[in-house]
Amino acid sequence: YRTLLGKVSTSPAMGVYLTFRGNAKANAATGSLPDENYARELMQLFTIGLLELNPDGTPVLVGGQPRETYGQDDIMGLARVFTGWDLDSTDNTTPARMGRPMTMIASRHETGVKSFLGTTIQTGTDGATSLAQALDTIFAHPNVGPFVTRQLIQRLVTSAPTPAYVGRIAAVFNNNGSGVRGDLKAVVRAILLDDEAR
């Protein structure tokens, strides 16, 4: 899953669709800020969701209320990571550049500090390293296992999986039995061979 996050985050199609292709660093003179669209959707739709989750996918409750996973400051901090990425324009004469991963244009990348989800990427960190650190941070979040596996179960087996089912599959996401996190082959196998699926 971590590899998939990296591929999606440098995909020209995703860059165009979620508007971070050509995203530039903040400009104090004009008041412009980095586009936040992909940063928000990466967390909300692809990785951790809106609410903190228990290992079985049920919401963590504090005082009887669910707790949000991120806020606007996290979105703004993460959006700074997705600056400077654009089409690989080494060959502008063919559409093949739309099939190649986006590349970093260093002059457009925000090199200042980037803080989100309790993590800080230090000032001066280049674009590729910033992206790797950001995706590693998100991938390590405890919500990823239950959030992603619940989505997969809903699309492959049942729209209303039990918490026990989600918990079993999230455990496989977190460790495939060989200490590997995010092994999608093991996850899909576990989903389809689970007693609740069969």
**Each residue's pLDDT tens digit in the chain (198 positions)?**
999 999 999 999 999 999 999 899 999 899 999 999 999 999 999 999 999 999 999 999 999 999 999 999 999 999 999 999 998 877 666 777 788 899 999 999 999 999 999 999 999 999 999 999 999 999 999 999 999 999 999 999 999 999 999 999 999 999 999 999 999 999 999 999 999 998
Q: Are 110 and 80 in contact (CB under 8 A)?
A: yes
> Tokens at residue 146, please?
């239950």
Other C-beta atoms closer than 10 Å to the C-beta of 90 total 9
> Hey, what are 37's tokens?
């669209």
What letter would DSSP give residue 24? -
pTM confidence score? 0.93
pLDDT at site 89:
78
DSSP string, 94-136: SGGGGGSPPEE-GGGS--S-EEETTEEEPTT--HHHHHHHHHH
What is the distance between the alpha carbons of residues 146 and 167, in angstroms, rounded to a whole number? 7
| Neighbour-count burial for 8-37, b at 16+ CB within 10 Å, e otherwise | bbbbbebbeebebbbbbbbeeeeeeebbbb
Using the Cα atoms of residue 103, residue 136, residue 145 and residue 41 in order, give the sign of their dihedral. negative
Nearest Cα neighbor of 3 from 191, 189, 180, 178 is 180
